[in-house]
A and B are shown apart, each in its own frame.
Chain A
Amino acid sequence: AQTVTQSQPEMSVQEAETVTLSCTYDTSESDYYLFWYKQPPSRQMILVIRQEAYKQQNATENRFSVNFQKAAKSFSLKISDSQLGDAAMYFCAYRINFGNEKLTFGTGTRLTIIP
């Protein structure tokens, strides 16, 4: 069974600095998707970034980027120029490619931004 591990329950970063959130996963599949979601205090789940396993290039979305290491099964999220609005719970998630729509989440990392 697939598992997703986030080993940092809490992280903090100074405003305008860069922070990296860790995620590792375990799977025997070769074709899958990885996601980072943000859950602010409002409880909505916002998709931050998505990575297809078959793509070697790391995904980026504005200040958010990932470091995808397929062999190491690692998928970290880097947030550059941290802003107060980035404070939230961040979840890493995994899904195999089409045919199985089950989504597996990590336990989350609570990110605090220090003004």
Chain B
Amino acid sequence: EAQVTQNPRYLITVTGKKLTVTCSQNMNHEYMSWYRQDPGLGLRQIYYSMNVEVTDKGDVPEGYKVSRKEKRNFPLILESPSPNQTSLYFCASSLLAIGETQYFGPGTRLLVL
């Protein structure tokens, strides 16, 4: 089954404690992206990747890091989480360019205390 998986689905952490949200897709897609969704602000793109070792900033990259060492994986790293990073995070992938038919993961709800 074609899918994008994210882990963990729910996470409660404290300010400053480094965390990683994993994302993996099994469709051999080149393009992957991370979004955060907040009430009243909609979806905002954090980072995207056009291929292995090729990443670029979206609209809200501050406080986040990503890496793309393998085609299927695109982890999101919060080196020092802060309460303003409490949000719902989505990973997505697409065969062609970002914005085409995108397959979204189920979401990761993060609470930073």
Contacts and interface: CB of A to CB of B under 8 A. Distances in A.
B40 A50 contact: no
A98 B98 CA distance: 9
B48 A50 contact: no
Contacts, number: 62
A22 interface: no
A102 B48 contact: yes
Interface in A22-57: 33, 35, 37, 42-45, 47, 50
Interface of A: 6, 33, 35, 37, 42-45, 47, 50, 91, 93, 95, 98, 101-108
26 contacts: A43-B88, A43-B106, A44-B106, A45-B92, A47-B100, A47-B101, A47-B102, A91-B42, A91-B43, A93-B43, A95-B97, A95-B98, A95-B99, A98-B97, A101-B33, A101-B50, A101-B97, A102-B58, A103-B98, A104-B45, A105-B35, A105-B45, A107-B40, A107-B41, A108-B42, A108-B43
Interface of B: 31, 33, 35, 40-45, 48, 50, 56, 58-59, 88, 90, 92, 97-102, 104, 106-107
